[in-house]
Amino acid sequence: MWYKKQAELLREELETLLKLLVDTAGLYELTRKALTGAGRGIFADKPDSLPWPLLPLMVCETVSGRFEPALPAAASIQLLKTAAEVFDDVEDADSPESLSSRYGPALAVNAATTLLILSEKVLAGLKARGVEDSIIVRIMESISSYYTTACAGQHLDISHTGDLAVTEELYMKIISLKSATTAECACYTGALLGQAGPDSLDKFARFGHNLGMMSQIVNDIQGVTGGKDIIRRKITLPVIYALSQTRGETYRRLERAFSQETETAIQPGQIKDLLFQCGAVHYSVLRMELYKQRAAGILAEMEAGFDTGQLKQFLE
């Protein structure tokens, strides 16, 4: 497949960077563990998963015909994203598989801090890839701006953890800031490194944003259909819809299931059934489809100037 070579090069970029830590007992292993797993850029993803870490490379190649200039930026974004996820696991304290649960929050926070610093260091490699200084500065500025926005989203998310009264408007704002910006950042960065013009930069950014919104809602749907978010009492789009649309005993059961203050044992299968039966999953699928169509529409707008075939796989 197209991206095996690109995935290998991204892995090499990250492995080269991590070698700086080899002499630091334990830190090398921890940061490498953090980067392990589907979508995190170090080990091979499952054959049927989408090559999300390669998104900046794919956009860069779509614009300019070359992906190599985007390698350091793709590595930087993977490092930042992974750091954010490690911090998120420390904040949520609800995942037994997380670095924090396995090694303690102190070591996890230090590993995430290391990843943050490496995410900046790796951008120095842009110059060796022939990227002009002015573009490097723009890349650094845009990545840091996007992830500052993601932190704002995370702040809102944490502030409303367990809030049964959270509205759909607020929730969509949270995932726009926290989640969609990271996909937008990947696309915008790739386009900038491909030397896209202002109009195209805007289109790729909007494509990335809609792609990110779509992906987060899909994640929400899977969270209830698989049961994971029900067990964790996580309030996501399907739950927000259900709480707004149900009444009587159905509402009370949902309220008990997702309240942080109750110790009532949850029956995930029954709650999942309720969410299906009240239309919450169907509504979430429709919302996902809306963002998917918007993303597809933006790609269609660009077809006259770019071959967007590779990017369409994220929508198929």
- Name which of 16 and 222 has its Cβ closer to other proteins: 222
Per-residue interface string for the shown chain with other proteins, residues 197-236, x marking contact by CB under 8 A: ---------------x-xxx-xx-xx--x-----------
- Name which of 125 and 238 has its Cβ closer to other proteins: 238
Could you tell me the smallest distance in angstroms from the CB atom of residue 221 to other proteins?
6
Residue 50 interacts with other proteins (CB under 8 A): yes or no = yes
Among the listed residues 246, 234, 255, 231, the one whose alpha carbon sits nearest the alpha carbon of residue 283: 246
- Name which of 113 and 222 has its Cβ closer to other proteins: 222
Rounded distance, CA 268 to CA 175, Å?
A: 24
Q: Restricting to residues 233-262, which ones interact with other proteins according to CB under 8 A? A: 241, 244-245
Size of the site for other proteins (CB under 8 A): 44
Per-residue interface string for the shown chain with other proteins, residues 113-152, x marking contact by CB under 8 A: ----------------------------------------
Rounded distance, CA 135 to CA 127, Å?
A: 10
Phi, psi (degrees; rounded to nearest 5) at 305:
-105, -25
Q: Give the range of 46-54, 65-73, 101-109, 155-163 binding other proteins by CB under 8 A.
A: 46-54
Residue 182 interacts with other proteins (CB under 8 A): yes or no = yes
Say how many residues make up the chain: 316
Cα separations in angstroms, 122 against 18, 125, 134, 177, 203: 10, 6, 17, 25, 27
- Name which of 39 and 305 has its Cβ closer to other proteins: 39
Rounded distance, CA 218 to CA 225, Å?
A: 10
Residue 183 interacts with other proteins (CB under 8 A): yes or no = yes
Rounded distance, CA 84 to CA 152, Å?
A: 12
Could you tell me the smallest distance in angstroms from the CB atom of residue 146 to other proteins?
14
Q: Which of 22, 38, 106, 117 binds other proteins (CB under 8 A)?
A: 38
Rounded distance, CA 267 to CA 260, Å?
A: 15
Residue 290 interacts with other proteins (CB under 8 A): yes or no = yes
Cα separations in angstroms, 188 against 147, 167, 303: 13, 29, 17
Q: Which of 36, 148, 270, 277 binds other proteins (CB under 8 A)?
A: 277
- Name which of 142 and 215 has its Cβ closer to other proteins: 215
Q: Which residues contact 57 (CB under 8 A, 6 or more apart)?
A: 3, 6, 10, 67, 70, 71, 74, 190
Could you tell me the smallest distance in angstroms from the CB atom of residue 120 to other proteins?
22
| Alpha helices (H) in the chain, listed in sequence order | 3-18, 27-34, 55-64, 71-92, 99-103, 105-121, 125-128, 133-159, 168-175, 181-193, 198-225, 228-231, 237-245, 248-258, 268-277, 280-302, 309-312
Binding footprint of other proteins on the chain (CB under 8 A): 38-39, 45, 48-50, 52, 167-169, 172, 179, 182-183, 212, 214-216, 218-219, 221-222, 225, 241, 244-245, 272-273, 276-279, 281-283, 285-290, 293-294, 314
